[in-house]
Amino acid sequence: MVIFQEVPENKRRVSTIKGIVIARRNAGLNTTFRLRRLVAGVGVENLFHLYSPNLKEIKVLDKKRVRRAKLYYLRDKMNALKKH
């Protein structure tokens, strides 16, 4: 998944974040999702509000069938993150 987020310090710059969604919490307008990615070989997780005005665009690059609601086990499997 690729997220285009507007940076709060500078209203014109849009940062691009690419990673794997490992969790989603459904709570109406407070719905959040957790994105995991590798930055310089270190795993980093970001929590985003789905209906935030700072999120300009969300693109789904690839869909895979999973059998768990929360993919926290991917924290231990770094090879799965290197592919994205």
Which CATH number fits the domain that encloses residue 47? 2.30.30.790
Q: What is the pLDDT of residues 18-37, one digit of tens each?
A: 999 999 999 999 999 999 99
pTM (2 decimals)? 0.81
In-domain check, residue 8? yes
Q: What is the pLDDT of residues 41-62, one digit of tens each?
A: 888 999 999 999 989 999 999 9
What is the predicted pLDDT for the residue at 83?
62
In-domain check, residue 65? yes
In-domain check, residue 82? no
Q: Is 72 left (phi over 0), alpha (psi -120 to 50) or beta?
A: alpha
What backbone torsions phi and psi does residue 73 show, to the nearest 5 degrees? -65, -15
Q: How many domains does the chain have?
A: 1
Range of the domain at 33: 2-74
Torsion of CA 46, 47, 50, 51, to 10 degrees: -110
Over 80: is that where the pLDDT of 82 sits? no
In-domain check, residue 21? yes
